[in-house]
Amino acid sequence: MSAKKVTITEVAKHAGVSVSTVSMVLGNKGRISTDTIEKVNGAVEELGYIRNRAAANLRSGVGEIIGLILKDISDPYYAEVASGISEEIERQGFMLFLAQSGDSQEKFEKCLLTMARQGVGGIAFCPVDESQPFNLENLQQYDLPLVCIARAPVYKQVDYVGPDNMSAAKLATEHLIRQGHRRIAYIGGASHSLCRAERIGGYCSTLLQFGLPFRPEWVVECGKSQSSAAQAVEQLLSAQPQVTAMLCHHSSTALGAVYGVHRAGRSIGKDQFIGQQVSVIGFDDVEEAELTEPSLTFVNFNAREMGRQAARRLISQFGRRNSETYSLILPPKLIIRESA
């Protein structure tokens, strides 16, 4: 049997003060004597009163909890973002309220509103679809700090922390070209993805910079799963055997490419002239990259640092909102291993 919930009226009666006095003590407002504060806090402790933190947060304007909405918390990239945010906000005395939206825009917007109504201090989020911004009007009444953590900029009116996708693709493509590759493919991602568009832009501009042609048939869409990537790579190499290197849009795409290359009767490595090897570079490094044979080269963004920076931005906005939109773009790093 559950115990009866203690009310603020009972606390006031036990302490011998008014309900408004209890409310001011709990909200840390008004001029209240030390003796009265001790009486109220004593009554709270003796009766086991549970303060309504959400309501108090809404009244004070600053919540003790920071919201984070991710598309897929099982994705290594998003897991690192969550770890970075959690580390930073806990260091500064806050707690994390985590939600997963999946691929549903409706669920994403519901998560936003639910967190706002619960009195969170701010919300960091990764959008469901980079090409489908949400309506900010429903959130305006809460006046919450927001930070978008994404693979590409989406909302001009919302603070943003994200990667430099174009530079990442340029870095990877130039690395392959300097190794002697002239027939480089791009595998993975969806045509509506802004992140993919930025990376392909960097890939194309680097090809042109070095006087190499852009071949549309070497740019292949596929699902995010390893099996989809394996099938796409096998089909590409069977139809376009002259391809000697590839950029892989997701970490899972790079891992799946390993199987696709082998199914096409090729091997993975840096030597494009002997043994018909194919060089592979992925984006967003994962632990499995060092476990494959050979180990996989990646262009990486520090997703954990991305999370930390987003948390700092949210917390810095508490009580002193700035009108100018903030944007932080993190540079890429090439992690060279055996595959390229």
CA distance 93 to 66: 11
Which of 315 and 164 is assigned the larger pLDDT? Answer: 164
What's the pLDDT at 136? 75
- Percent of the chain past pLDDT 90, that is, above it, reads 58
Average pLDDT, the chain: 88
What's the pLDDT at 19? 82
Instruction: Examine the pLDDT at 292 and tell me if it is beyond 60.
Output: yes
CA distance 22 to 200: 60
| 302-311 tens-digit pLDDT | 999 999 999 9
Categorize the per-residue pLDDT at 208 as very low, low, confident or very high, splitting at 50, 70 and 90: very high
Domain range holding 307? 62-164+303-330
Asked if residue 156 and residue 99 are part of one domain, the reply reads yes
What's the pLDDT at 98? 94
What's the pLDDT at 99? 95
The answer as to whether 335 is a domain residue is: no
The answer as to whether 339 is a domain residue is: no
The answer as to whether 253 is a domain residue is: yes
How far is residue 60 CA from its own chain's centroid?
Answer: 29
Asked if residue 202 and residue 100 are part of one domain, the reply reads no
Asked if residue 250 and residue 317 are part of one domain, the reply reads no
What's the pLDDT at 132? 67
| 254-275 tens-digit pLDDT | 999 999 999 999 999 987 665 5
CA distance 177 to 182: 6
CA distance 268 to 248: 14
- Percent of the chain past pLDDT 70, that is, above it, reads 90
Asked if residue 323 and residue 269 are part of one domain, the reply reads no
Which of the 8 DSSP states describes residue 18?
A: -
The answer as to whether 2 is a domain residue is: no
Calculate mean pLDDT across residues 224-238: 97
CA distance 120 to 125: 13
H-state helical runs in the chain: 8-15, 19-26, 34-47, 53-60, 76-91, 105-117, 165-178, 194-209, 226-239, 251-263, 303-317
What's the pLDDT at 153? 75
Asked if residue 66 and residue 38 are part of one domain, the reply reads no
Cβ(128)–Cβ(314) under 8 Å? no
Report the number of distinct structural domains present in the chain.
3
Q: Exposure string (b/e) for 53-78, b if CB count within 10 Å is 16 or more?
A: eeebbbeeebbbbbbbbbbbeebbbb
The answer as to whether 57 is a domain residue is: no
Asked if residue 113 and residue 219 are part of one domain, the reply reads no
Closest by Cα among 201, 202, 212 to 177: 212
- pTM for the whole structure: 0.78
The answer as to whether 24 is a domain residue is: yes
| 212-222 tens-digit pLDDT | 989 999 999 99
What's the pLDDT at 270? 84
First vs last C-alpha separation in the chain: 64
Asked if residue 45 and residue 142 are part of one domain, the reply reads no
The answer as to whether 340 is a domain residue is: no
Asked if residue 211 and residue 107 are part of one domain, the reply reads no
Asked if residue 107 and residue 39 are part of one domain, the reply reads no
Asked if residue 172 and residue 155 are part of one domain, the reply reads no
Categorize the per-residue pLDDT at 4 as very low, low, confident or very high, splitting at 50, 70 and 90: low
Instruction: Examine the pLDDT at 236 and tell me if it is beyond 90.
Output: yes
Q: What is the identity of the amino acid at 303? A: A
Tokens encoding 211: 């006087």
Asked if residue 308 and residue 287 are part of one domain, the reply reads no
Instruction: Examine the pLDDT at 140 and tell me if it is beyond 60.
Output: yes
Asked if residue 215 and residue 293 are part of one domain, the reply reads yes
What's the pLDDT at 322? 66
The answer as to whether 56 is a domain residue is: no
What's the pLDDT at 241? 94
Domain CATH code at residue 70: 3.40.50.2300
What's the pLDDT at 276? 81
What's the pLDDT at 25? 81
| 77-132 tens-digit pLDDT | 899 999 999 999 998 888 899 999 988 988 999 999 899 888 888 999 998 877 66
| 8-62 tens-digit pLDDT | 888 889 999 988 888 778 766 667 888 888 899 898 888 877 665 544 544 444 5
